[in-house]
Chain A
Amino acid sequence: MNALIERLAARVDQGEVYRIRSRTVPIQFTSGHLDSIKTNETEGMALRVIADGKLGFATTTDMEDQNTLIDAAVAASAFGDTVDFRFPETDAPTPVSVYDPAIAALSEEEMITLGDHLISRLTKLDSEVDINISLAKSIERVSIENTSDRQLEDKRTLFSVSLEVSKAREGDIFILSDSASVRRFDDFKPEAMLARLTRLLEYGKKLAPVASRPLPVVFTPNGTITLLLPLIVGFNGKAVYMGTSPLKGRMGEKVFDERFSVTDDGTVPFGPRSGGFDDEGIPTMATSLISDGTVKAFTYDLRTAALAGTRSTGNGYKGGLFGGGFRNVPAIGMNNVIVAEGKAAEEKLISEIEEGLLVESVLGLGQGNINAGEFSNNVAVAFKIENGRVVGRVKNTMIAGNVYTLLRDSLIGVGRKAEWAHGALLAPAIAVDGVSVVGEGT
């Protein structure tokens, strides 16, 4: 037991120290030019205490001044809420590989060369495009210690590339983006990324009008976030507990089409959001949320689990839906969200649509009444499908629908090949019918 934990144990019922040290090196290219190299070396510490049964929290970047930190957390706990959970006791973290020496060893020069390569390939494809790329490697050491004797440490690497390709003409700007986040360098497949962008650029060469009426829509793996975000909100154990989720009281019910299954999984080897434990020291696990259309579980952190009379699912993360820093109190966040693969190829899903849309990305994610499962978005990158073929890009078009209705009554099919997207999601294409579309055509 280290000195800080000892001091905590003497002053409070329970205490938990979260530390993160990271070195991130982002390299930025703007409009095809190398812009900057940044080295980001940061550290921070967060303290949670439960004193007289009440919760307090404080954070600092001053790793030496532990007294101020303890005083601040204890002072906050005096007016904190009474909570009924214990910081987890010793049991081993999930053995999952999340560290790749190849990422750690990656030099700035190698990353610049990779950026240059992507830019020259894309420019060859279409000389009119403007390209922004950022590449970053990151090494992160996370440790959690608590007064229940738990001492955990994880060393994680992440390599990420995000890329924006735009083509501007008078009155029309077409922008495509793609990103990859991998914990193992070999999982980064630049050729696959280039092939995807090539296909989308080709699809987007022409514009196609779309009329206002309900239409079938194929969401690409990247586009499925439109459907999944309301579900992530709805499966959040706190929303269920608070009564703002339509899934409240529906555990075990078949709420979705039986071809639809979703798992939250922190144990995928080298998964971009995998790790040995969550930010509360709970070993990560694979939690089936939807199995063959049936609601199987909700996601929980320690505090919400205690309120709801259940156990944490290893979804206690510091900072937002998709992770963050030491500054935040743990709340429910996702591990890797995995949609089970179906039977149809994406091309097959497209080929069976007489008139519809292929949606790659939308603007204003989370817009609309997301609590109720609704989305209402302007498409960012989407294409018109006519007689089973992609005929051109659609603009100024809105799509709207309710994911609970669409994924129950109107699922056309689920693609057979899942792809990583948004650094958190492994999903195949999903096709649904009857999405409300407002377009400019007639």
Chain B
Amino acid sequence: MEDLVRKAIAGSDADYTEVRIEREERSQADFQRDKLENLEQSSELGGIVRCLCDGGWGIAVLNDPAKLPAKVAEATRTARLVAARRDEPVKLADAPVVQESVRAEIENDFRTVPLEKKKRLAESYNDLLLNHDKRIVSTRVRYNDSFREVTYANSEGTFIAQEIPDVTLLLVAVASDGAANIQQGFKSLGEAGGFDVVLNREDEARAVAKRAIDLVAARSVEGGKYTVILDPELAGVFIHEAFGHFCEADFLYQNERLKKIMTIGTRFAERNLNVVDDGYIPGLRGNTPYDDEGVARAKTYLIKNGVLTNLLHSRQTAKKMGASPTGNARAVSYAFEPIVRMTNTYIEPGSDTFEEMLRGIDRGVYAVKAYGGETVFEQFTFSAAYAYEIRDGEVGDLLKDVVLTGNLFETLRAIDMIGPDLKIEGSSGGCGKGEQSPLPVTAGAPHIRARKVTIGGK
């Protein structure tokens, strides 16, 4: 394969050529209620070529590596077509030439675990969920693993081989009171690790089933504006969804107005807020030792002491904005070109305790875990898996149907307290941007408190 890649690049007429070949082995055991929906072990091989000619990009995707030279020629042809119809040529920021091999170091490699054992593990969690209570009407337990070997090379001389392991587990329990009241509890986890990651999760499975049952009896939150405490997971989703995406330079580098809004040095929050995107923290599934342009990982402060400090860049956006590449050009698979993405994104810990946060809240909401989230420019929305009422400084009843929404800039300024208890976790899903989903990322934070957050409801 290495020869094939080197030869294809050597034979290219383009100004810049890069090739990425990906081989994946994956397996899945997926239970839904009492049925094994899927049990599979599959493999996949594919690649992508990107050529830059006279400042235009041509891209070609393939499954058969024997077609590499033909695809380099095709990408060169389309790149020229783009260059002829584009006013401003694309240029790339400099990046060091790298020759490196990154091996995965995982304990209990899931590739050596028989498929039957993966099935039995998923089944055991599923049984726990199903047998918890007769009000559990449905369940979902999905185990996934993936081992990718990614070979990246470009015409500048960079050649990188990386192994990327990923293992995820999703536990869902759906409970119903027999009528239309249908509620769910879930736990979703993922790591760049081995089979051990998904073992010994029985207590979490029980908690999932219990939460589904509890939510059936919970009351709906009343819509309105509240002082809100977010748990680390939900605060992580907030910082990823609402703010992180805003820092992806490909979204604003050609837009003067947005660039102005996101000028480095602008104050966005109180002095206590620090936000980081870090390309490597052992075990986290957002890890990207080298990104899909061959740029090494970095720890990038997006916000330092409340002030916008950096954006996340590809080589193209960095060149255009006079910045340095940050190792955030990532592709979800061989079928896609790299675009600017986050890796492991988190809010740094502060010093405000949970008790201090509760103090002074007459009527508030403690929102826990994220069910989902979406953001369009400065508007964000995300739903909590569950929440608790806060009354007169104390955590009270369980609440359901808690969807938080707001304006990013207002909400960042409204963060007034940050706890010491940073937690960064991966989920079984991932991040979506454009067509590229789900990309493994993690997000995290300590507990944080924000004033005047809108919560939808009846």
Supposing A34-B82, A396-B407 touch, asked if A59 and B39 sit within 8 A by C-beta, the answer is no
Closest residue on chain B to residue A39 by CB atoms: B60
Supposing A242-B138, A367-B371, A400-B456 touch, asked if A60 and B44 sit within 8 A by C-beta, the answer is yes
Write the A150-180 contact mask toward B (1 if CB under 8 angstroms, else 0): 0000000000000000101111110100000
Q: In the docked arrangement, what's the CA distance between A242 and B173, Å? A: 12
Closest residue on chain B to residue A402 by CB atoms: B180
Q: B254 touches which one: A33, A73, A78, A80 (CB < 8 A)?
A: A33
Contact residues in B for A399 (Cβ distance below 8 Å): 456
Closest residue on chain B to residue A245 by CB atoms: B182
Contacting residues of chain B (88-109) with chain A, CB-CB under 8 angstroms: 88
Q: B454 touches which one: A41, A43, A438 (CB < 8 A)?
A: A438
Contact residues in A for B406 (Cβ distance below 8 Å): 396
Are B82's CB and A36's CB within 8 A? Answer: yes
Are A76's CB and B180's CB within 8 A? Answer: no
Contact residues in B for A116 (Cβ distance below 8 Å): 85
Contact residues in A for B37 (Cβ distance below 8 Å): 329, 331
Contact residues in B for A331 (Cβ distance below 8 Å): 37
Supposing A41-B62, A363-B374 touch, asked if A62 and B43 sit within 8 A by C-beta, the answer is yes
Are A243's CB and B257's CB within 8 A? Answer: no
Closest residue on chain A to residue B183 by CB atoms: A369
Q: A369 touches which one: B182, B376, B405 (CB < 8 A)?
A: B182
Closest residue on chain B to residue A369 by CB atoms: B401
A93 at the interface (CB under 8 A from B): no
A398 at the interface (CB under 8 A from B): yes
Are A112's CB and B456's CB within 8 A? Answer: no
Binds B, one of A5-13, A184-192, A371-379: A371-379
Q: In the docked arrangement, what's the CA distance between A37 and B51, Å? A: 10
Are A112's CB and B457's CB within 8 A? Answer: no
Supposing A243-B137, A438-B224 touch, asked if A57 and B40 sit within 8 A by C-beta, the answer is yes
Closest residue on chain A to residue B400 by CB atoms: A369
Q: In the docked arrangement, what's the CA distance between A404 and B63, Å? A: 46
Are A364's CB and B176's CB within 8 A? Answer: no
Q: In the docked arrangement, what's the CA distance between A399 and B78, Å? A: 45
Q: In the docked arrangement, what's the CA distance between A244 and B135, Å? A: 11
Contacting residues of chain B (237-289) with chain A, CB-CB under 8 angstroms: 250, 254-255, 257-258, 260-261
Closest residue on chain B to residue A168 by CB atoms: B257
Contact residues in A for B184 (Cβ distance below 8 Å): 371
B157 at the interface (CB under 8 A from A): no
Are B78's CB and A60's CB within 8 A? Answer: no
Q: How far is the CB of A274 from chain B (nearest CB, A)?
A: 22
Are B39's CB and A243's CB within 8 A? Answer: no
Contact residues in B for A73 (Cβ distance below 8 Å): 40
Q: In the docked arrangement, what's the CA distance between A400 and B405, Å? A: 12
Write the B440-458 contact mask toward A (1 if CB under 8 angstroms, else 0): 0000000000000011111
Q: How far is the CB of A236 from chain B (nearest CB, A)?
A: 12
Most buried by A among B40, B60, B376: B40
Supposing A30-B254, A56-B39, A130-B255 touch, asked if A367 and B82 sit within 8 A by C-beta, the answer is no
Q: How far is the CB of A266 from chain B (nearest CB, A)?
A: 23
Closest residue on chain B to residue A439 by CB atoms: B454
Contacting residues of chain A (219-258) with chain B, CB-CB under 8 angstroms: 238, 242-244, 246
Q: How far is the CB of A204 from chain B (nearest CB, A)?
A: 13
Are A373's CB and B81's CB within 8 A? Answer: no
Q: In the docked arrangement, what's the CA distance between A382 and B405, Å? A: 15
Contacting residues of chain A (59-76) with chain B, CB-CB under 8 angstroms: 59-62, 68, 72-73, 75-76
Contact residues in A for B257 (Cβ distance below 8 Å): 128, 130, 168-169
A351 at the interface (CB under 8 A from B): no
Q: In the docked arrangement, what's the CA distance between A440 and B456, Å? A: 12
A395 at the interface (CB under 8 A from B): yes
Most buried by B among A36, A130, A377: A36
Closest residue on chain A to residue B70 by CB atoms: A41
Are A75's CB and B335's CB within 8 A? Answer: no
Interface size on A, residues (CB 8 A): 81
Supposing A41-B62, A76-B41 touch, asked if A33 and B87 sit within 8 A by C-beta, the answer is yes
Closest residue on chain B to residue A170 by CB atoms: B261
Closest residue on chain A to residue B86 by CB atoms: A34
Contact residues in A for B60 (Cβ distance below 8 Å): 38-41
Contact residues in B for A198 (Cβ distance below 8 Å): none
B74 at the interface (CB under 8 A from A): yes
Contact residues in A for B255 (Cβ distance below 8 Å): 31, 130, 166, 168
Contact residues in A for B375 (Cβ distance below 8 Å): 363
Contact count A vs B, C-beta below 8 Å: 248
Q: A244 touches which one: B137, B371, B403 (CB < 8 A)?
A: B137
Q: In the docked arrangement, what's the CA distance between A242 and B362, Å? A: 42
Q: How far is the CB of B25 from chain A (nearest CB, A)?
A: 10
Contact residues in B for A212 (Cβ distance below 8 Å): 223-224
Q: A396 touches which one: B33, B88, B379 (CB < 8 A)?
A: B379
Q: In the docked arrangement, what's the CA distance between A44 and B64, Å? A: 11
Contact residues in B for A416 (Cβ distance below 8 Å): none
Most buried by A among B138, B180, B409: B180
Q: A371 touches which one: B82, B174, B380 (CB < 8 A)?
A: B174
Contact residues in B for A79 (Cβ distance below 8 Å): 36, 39, 115-116, 119
Contacting residues of chain A (321-337) with chain B, CB-CB under 8 angstroms: 327, 329, 331
Contact residues in B for A327 (Cβ distance below 8 Å): 42, 44
Are A371's CB and B182's CB within 8 A? Answer: yes
Are A376's CB and B403's CB within 8 A? Answer: yes
Are B400's CB and A400's CB within 8 A? Answer: no
Q: B377 touches which one: A81, A166, A243 (CB < 8 A)?
A: A166
Contact residues in B for A172 (Cβ distance below 8 Å): 378
Q: In the docked arrangement, what's the CA distance between A156 and B56, Å? A: 30
B59 at the interface (CB under 8 A from A): yes
Contacting residues of chain B (299-339) with chain A, CB-CB under 8 angstroms: 335, 337
Q: How far is the CB of A144 from chain B (nearest CB, A)?
A: 18
Q: In the docked arrangement, what's the CA distance between A227 and B130, Å? A: 31
B164 at the interface (CB under 8 A from A): no
Contact residues in B for A169 (Cβ distance below 8 Å): 257
Supposing A76-B115, A436-B223 touch, asked if A39 and B78 sit within 8 A by C-beta, the answer is yes
Contact residues in B for A409 (Cβ distance below 8 Å): none
B372 at the interface (CB under 8 A from A): yes
Q: How far is the CB of B11 from chain A (nearest CB, A)?
A: 18
Q: How far is the CB of A265 from chain B (nearest CB, A)?
A: 26
Contact residues in B for A76 (Cβ distance below 8 Å): 39-41, 115
B7 at the interface (CB under 8 A from A): no
Q: In the docked arrangement, what's the CA distance between A280 and B204, Å? A: 37
Known: A39-B59, A436-B456. 10 other contacts (CB 8 A): A31-B254, A33-B87, A44-B63, A76-B115, A79-B36, A244-B174, A376-B457, A398-B457, A400-B458, A438-B224
Q: Which 8 A-B residue pairings sit nearest by Cβ, starting from the closest?
A: A398-B456, A31-B254, A378-B381, A36-B57, A37-B78, A38-B59, A168-B257, A378-B405
A-B residue pairs in contact (CB < 8 Å), sample of 18: A38-B78, A42-B61, A44-B44, A60-B43, A72-B42, A80-B36, A108-B81, A168-B258, A169-B257, A173-B258, A212-B224, A364-B403, A366-B372, A376-B401, A378-B381, A396-B407, A398-B456, A398-B457
Q: Could you list which residues of chain A lie within 8 angstroms of chain B, going by C-beta atoms?
A: 30-44, 55-62, 68, 72-73, 75-76, 78-81, 108-109, 112, 116, 128, 130, 166, 168-173, 175, 212, 238, 242-244, 246, 307, 327, 329, 331, 363-369, 371-374, 376-378, 380, 395-396, 398-401, 404, 436, 438, 440
